[in-house]
Structure 1
Amino acid sequence: MPEMLQTTDSTNYTDVVSETADAVRAAGAALRERFGDVVRPSSRDELMRALADNDDTALAVLRPRLTRLRPNAGWVEEELDGGALPPGEWWVVDPAEGNINHLHGLPEWAVTATLVRDNRPVLTAVHLPLTGETYTALTGAGAHLDGRRLHVSPATDLSLSVVATSQARPDEDGTVVRRVGSSITAMLFDALVVRTAVPATLHLLNVAAGRIDAFWQFSGARADLLPGALLVTEAGGQLSDAQGHPWTPHSDSFLAAAPGVHAAAVATLSR
């Protein structure tokens, strides 16, 4: 990942973090009203419309609030986009992270908003509407869960670790699918427990909170990695690609881990 901003003046962004958290909570409340019954679309088009309806519901709340906060910032709301952004400030949002879970009546979904400056995340807020939890991070000021400081796990033994992975897209190409499968097999040999589910952000929240010890993903997008990447870094975690090289939005893999198991995770994923 690009190095986190070293000169961010936290006082300039403290109020922005708070108001961003308010925005994702408000959007989450709107999505919670739509949650409950399982949606069973009969075609891909119907599925895409149902997903878009959830996105639009949240964006109707998020976009005006965040635009008022940083009126000169650009806007990115396509959760599957990847790569670098143009210079300047950008809001990278996922209005319904884990949207497919929401439609299926599953609890693993969230609303995220991350402010990026010159391709480095400055701040993020992630809200889980069904638990009421809100995670925030500000570069240089730590990661927090409802005001409580977060710290990654002190784990030092991968064989005693809980690790997790996710799929970046529903229609990955065959090379990525096989890479995901082989990495899960490798981790099943080397780690204690391997969790596999979407979305990525919820696993990364658990890494930042010290509940699990590592998360990896092949391929990926800005919206599902940037919020958790900042939270993990500010909680004392270590980021790289699966081979241990610095992670950037152009990388074809992603690893976030407690420092004590990062090298072992790289070794496992590099086999």
Structure 2
Amino acid sequence: MPESMTDTPVATVADAALLAQTEAAVRAASAPLRERFGEVTLSRTREELMSALAANDDAVLDILRPRLHALRPHAGWVEQEQELHGGALPGGEWWVVDPAEGNVNHLHALPEWAVTATLVRENAPVLTVVHLPLTGHTYTALAGGGAYLDGRRLHVSGATDLGLSIVATSQARPDEQESLVRRVGSSITEMLLDALVVRTAVPATLHLANVAAGRIEAFWQFAGARADLLPGALLVAESGGQICTTDGRPWTPDSDSFLATAPGVHAAAVTTLSR
């Protein structure tokens, strides 16, 4: 992984064509998930919940995996058990995919979910697609080539006052250790004191898309896996935002925290989250 997101290698001309093909694959694979959406799916046990989540994932992956494999036959694939632990990947190219980012929202008939695919090369994100099947909107980013929403170039907010800013955080996964849960709660309290509004919801990727689009000024999260941070990190970096840990160090998938901000509120956000 590069020392920071600003060190991400510039994509090639071939990567630009690959981005368009990846977008087409993600759009096609999202159709079953859109068709499955509408009714609340209640689970009486953890086993039932995990089965419902897996069914959503499989509906997308049955289409997406072979299409992405055809585009990049030699690229690795981040399996679910690898994804849970995050960290650096082996060398070469890897597809980092979340077939239902915000899956639990989908099961509860909430609209905040997406299908994402990110190509990682030598531990640096090269391109990403974040598709929202319910609205048809698609966010894309290419390393060195900018970030876009349906073809419109994205730019982060020009805000300079954290006290006038909307910020957001997300829960990386359920069943975290108590110490991490308390750390999250403390950070929310600090941001409630310093920012205008704090939003707390899953999934992380959609908050990061809002940072990239200039709708909110900052997003932070403790822990997290590759698929919920890499797509949004590339979107924000290519929209002119800053990526680091919550105490201002360079971020990598091994880091225990993540912060994405508009430049004008970066220092203030780091100060707040470092208290």
TM-score, length of structure 1 as denominator length: 0.98
Structure-2 separation of matches of 1:9 and 1:197: 32
Correspondence for 1:267: 271
TM superposition shift of 1:53: 0.3
CA distance in 2, matches of 1:143, 1:197: 23
Letter in 2 for 1:182: S
Match of 1:25 among 24, 27, 30: 27
Specify every segment of 5 or more residues in structure 2 that has no aligned partner in the other structure, as ranges.
none
In the TM superposition, what is the alpha-carbon distance from 1:28 to its structure 2 partner?
1.5
| CA contact 1:80–1:169 (8 Å) conserved in 2 | no
The whole-number CA distance in structure 2 between the counterparts of 1:213 and 1:155 is 7
RMSD (Å) for aligned C-alpha atoms: 1.1
Would the alpha carbon gap of residues 45 and 7 (structure 1) be closer, same or farther in structure 2, given more than 3 Å must change? closer
1:257 paired to 2:261: yes
Does the aligned pair in 2 maintain the 1:58–1:95 contact within 8 Å? yes
1: CA distance, partners of 2:29 / 2:120 = 20
User: Residues 224, 7 of structure 1: CA spacing in aligned structure 2 closer, same or farther, 3 A cutoff?
Assistant: closer
What is residue 194 of structure 1 aligned with on the other side? 198
Does the 8 Å CA contact 1:54/1:99 hold for their aligned counterparts? yes
Residues 116 and 122, structure 1, Cα contact 8 Å, conserved in 2? yes
Structure 2 match to 1:165: 169
Aligned to 1:70: 72
Q: One-letter code of the match for 1:220?
A: G
Aligned position for 1:185? 189
Matches within 5 A, 1:48-127: 48-78=50-80, 79-127=83-131
CA deviation vs aligned residue, 1:57-96 (integer Å, no higher than 9, x gap):
0001110110011110000142533100000000000000
Shift of 1:38: 0.3
Q: Give the Å deviation of 1:8.
A: 3.1
Q: Which runs of 5+ in 1 are unaligned?
A: none
- Sort the Cα spacing of 1:12 and 1:158 in 2 relative to 1 into closer, same or farther, 3 A: same
SS class of match (1:112): strand
- The TM-score normalised by the length of structure 2 is 0.96
Indicate conservation of the 8 Å contact 1:151/1:235, yes or no.
yes
1:257: Cα distance to partner?
0.2
Letter in 2 for 1:142: G
The aligned residue for residue 230 of structure 1 is 234
Shift of 1:9: 4.2
CA contact (8 A) 2:8 2:124 kept: no
- Deviation of the 1:41 alpha carbon: 1.1
Superposed CA offset, 1:9-58 (max 9, x none): 43111111001111111121110000010000111101000000000000
Does the 8 Å contact 2:242/2:260 carry over to 1?
A: yes
Amino acid at match of 2:253: P
Name the residue aligned to 1:142.
Answer: 146
Q: Does 1:40 align with 2:42?
A: yes
- Taking the aligned partners of 1:9 and 1:219, their CA distance within structure 2 comes to 28
